[in-house]
Every structure is written in structure tokens, then in C-alpha cells.
């Protein structure tokens, strides 16, 4: 079995004296990252940027955050460059997590997804460079690899913008890196909370039982961002080694014996996801617990990577060929992450 708890990094970045800003900071990832950052005693300040006023209020009144004077709440939208210029003043590190992420909603609202995921990323880049931010780490998705839906396509465009931003910043300027991962177990709007709600109804709805998905815990998603922050040289994409399972396996692990009803694949969905493409293999480096996609044409100064292995030509990291969790292993993962009682 793949060791899904193997550490991605040994030393976490030192945030002593740093000001950190998280776009989309009131979302599932943003809250988890802020929680981790607040464990760093010498952190100077962390700014939560989000356009959702109600989520700001919920976070401000949460006992996990409300008594820490280092947290600042900044209502703003990544679509608004002027607001980002104000928010980024004095910021050292930006974690760009803001996005429209629901595949079927992006399919029916394409211009809104483009304005947030693409135009928003361009605004983050401009504001970061103009305000002298040291580091930007942006969150991407497995759906950006060979995308067939609009969400994936916007995230692919975002990846290209973030990588090219290193050229705009120039040598010695802001450094931009990316992380790309699969489905976060239990994140807002994901299938695990849906299945949990449907338990009381006595029936789970499955789009396609054979559909496979990569799975990652929120703690590991945060660690991946910290890895990129620690090891990124600019223009690189960090990809964790993840297990996968079918939707039917997930349903059986979460709710054994509960009836399963097939409703069909929604617009824009793939049966299987990929974290890398065959064309990326020539610039893909392998470590024990993760991969790094190097930039194709770096025009800025970068230290070469000498400790990684190369993958074979044409290598693709797909959810139907990676390690497949069985029902018992999937249930063990859900127990470890706190979604199922032992």
C-alpha cells in the first residue's frame, strides 16, 4: 500500500516576522492554512482575503481564530486589482487559493469562472510584483492536466500565467510557484459531505461507480503548499503522490450497506483524472513523496535540481493506474481524517 502519511517535507518554512496573505482565505483550505500559520509563534500577521462577508463573520467568531490579534480580515475580490494593491501592501508571502471550483457551475457560468480564475490570477500577479511580495504559491488542480471542462481549462491558464510571472518579475523579483493536487477529502462542496448528508435519507447518489479520483487530506494539502514555499525555485509545479479509489469504493467505505443510486456523469466531468500528462514527462522530476514539473523555458536565474530522479518518457500519473485503495483502506483513511468513527 502507498504510504499516504509519508511526510512531504521535514522542515517547515520559518515565518518569523513575515506578513502572509491568503486569497480565498475563508474557504476550506484557507482556514486550514491560517490555523497552521497561527502555530508559528513569531508570525507577524496573516491576512484573510475573501469576497464573502458571511464567511468572514463566521471565521471571526470561530474560537480557533477570534482571539488571535495577528489575524486580519480583508473583504475583497481577486477580480478587483485596485483592492489587491491595497491588500498586498507590506505583504511578504501570498497563498493564492481563491477560485471558482465547482465543475458544473463553471460550465454554466463560463465568463464568471474566467473572470475569477484567470483574470483574478493576473491581478494577483500584477499586485504581487508591484508591491514587492517575496513569494507567491498558487493552488491548481488535477483537472488542469489535459482539461476537458472549463474549470480545468481556467486552471491551466492560471498555471501558465503564474509560471510566466517569474519572467515579468525578473531575476531577484517575486518568485511564483504552484501546487497541483486532487480532491481534498471533506472540503466544502465535495462528495464526502454530500454522502454524509444523504446517510439520513438512506440512499447515496453516485454519478458513475467506476469513476476514480485522487484523494488528499487537508493537512497534506497544507504541507504541499509549505513544501513549495520551502523548495520552490520559481515556475515549478509540486504534485504529491496520492492514492485513488472509485466512487463506489468511497461510498461503500463511508456508508456500508446503504443503497446506492446511479445518476450519471455531470457536465464536464471525467471518468478518470490525471495529475500529470505524457507531454510533461520530459520535464517531470520524481522524489519519494512528490513530483516537480520544471518550467520549460525559464528566463530567470534558477538553481538546478540535482537530487531528483527522471520519469520514463510518456509517463502519466492517472487516477486509474495509481495505487487503488480498497474499501477497508478507504475507510481507514476516512477514520484517520475524522470523517468516520472507528
pLDDT tens by residue, the chain, 342 residues? 556 566 788 888 999 999 999 999 999 999 999 999 999 999 999 999 999 999 999 999 999 998 899 999 999 999 999 999 999 999 999 999 999 999 999 999 999 999 999 999 999 999 999 999 999 999 999 999 999 999 999 999 999 999 999 999 988 899 999 999 999 987 877 888 889 889 888 899 999 999 999 999 999 999 999 999 999 999 999 999 999 999 999 999 999 989 999 999 888 889 999 999 999 999 999 999 999 999 998 988 777 888 889 999 999 999 998 889 999 999 998 998 888 887
**Residue of 18, 143, 241, 270 marked active site:** 143
Please give the radius of gyration of the chain, using alpha carbons only, rounded to the nearest integer: 20
Is 143 a residue of the active site?
A: yes
pLDDT at 7: 77
CB 244 within 8 A of CB 210: no
Assign 215 to helix, strand or coil: strand
CB count in 10 Å sphere of residue 3: 11
CB 128 within 8 A of CB 94: yes
Which residue ranges form the domains of the chain, and what is each CATH number? 77-336 (3.40.50.720)
Q: What CA–CA distance (Å, rounded) separates 301 from 163?
A: 13
DSSP string, 48-89: EEES-HHHHHHHHTSTTTTT-TTEEEEE--TT-HHHHHHHTT
Helices (H), the chain: 28-37, 53-60, 81-87, 103-108, 110-114, 120-130, 150-169, 191-198, 218-231, 247-254, 327-336
Distance, CA of 204 to chain centre: 26
CB count in 10 Å sphere of residue 224: 23
HSE, side-chain direction, 13 A CA sphere, residue 132: 2
pLDDT at 199: 85
Amino acid at each position: 500500500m502507498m504510504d499516504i502519511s509519508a511526510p512531504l517535507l521535514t522542515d517547515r518554512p520559518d515565518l518569523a516576522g513575515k506578513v502572509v496573505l491568503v486569497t480565498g482565505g475563508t474557504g476550506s483550505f484557507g482556514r486550514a492554512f491560517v490555523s497552521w500559520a497561527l502555530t508559528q509563534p513569531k508570525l507577524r500577521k496573516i491576512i484573510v482575503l475573501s469576497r464573502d462577508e458571511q464567511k468572514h463573520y463566521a471565521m471571526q467568531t470561530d474560537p480557533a481564530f477570534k482571539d488571535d490579534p495577528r489575524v486580519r480580515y480583508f473583504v475583497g475580490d481577486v477580480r478587483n486589482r485596485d483592492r489587491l494593491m491595497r491588500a498586498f501592501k507590506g505583504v511578504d508571502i501570498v497563498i493564492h487559493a481563491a477560485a471558482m471550483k465547482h465543475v458544473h457551475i463553471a460550465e454554466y457560468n463560463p465568463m464568471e469562472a474566467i473572470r475569477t480564475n484567470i483574470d483574478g490570477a493576473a491581478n494577483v500577479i500584477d499586485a504581487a510584483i508591484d508591491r514587492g511580495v517575496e513569494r507567491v504559491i498558487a493552488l491548481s488542480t488535477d483537472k488542469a492536466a489535459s482539461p476537458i471542462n472549463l474549470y480545468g481549462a481556467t486552471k491551466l491558464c492560471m498555471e501558465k500565467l503564474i509560471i510566466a510571472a517569474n519572467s515579468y518579475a525578473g531575476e531577484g523579483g517575486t518568485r511564483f510557484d504552484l501546487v497541483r493536487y486532487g480532491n481534498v477529502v471533506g472540503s466544502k462542496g465535495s462528495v464526502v459531505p454530500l454522502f454524509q448528508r444523504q446517510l439520513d435519507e438512506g440512499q447515496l447518489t453516485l454519478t458513475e461507480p467506476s469513476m476514480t479520483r485522487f484523494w488528499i487530506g487537508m493537512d497534506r494539502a497544507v504541507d504541499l503548499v509549505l513544501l513549495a514555499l520551502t523548495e520552490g525555485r520559481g515556475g515549478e509545479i509540486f504534485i504529491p503522490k496520492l492514492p485513488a479509489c472509485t466512487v463506489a469504493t468511497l461510498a461503500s467505505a463511508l456508508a456500508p450497506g446503504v443503497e446506492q443510486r446511479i445518476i450519471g456523469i455531470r457536465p464536464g466531468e471525467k471518468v478518470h483524472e490525471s495529475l500529470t500528462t505524457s507531454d510533461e514527462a520530459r520535464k517531470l522530476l520524481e522524489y519519494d513523496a512528490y513530483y516537480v514539473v520544471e518550467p520549460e523555458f525559464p528566463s530567470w536565474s534558477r538553481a538546478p535540481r540535482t537530487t531528483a530522479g527522471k520519469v520514463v518518457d510518456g509517463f502519466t500519473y492517472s487516477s486509474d493506474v495509481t495505487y487503488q485503495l480498497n474499501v477497508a483502506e478507504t475507510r481507514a483513511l476516512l477514520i484517520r481524517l475524522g470523517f468516520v468513527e472507528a
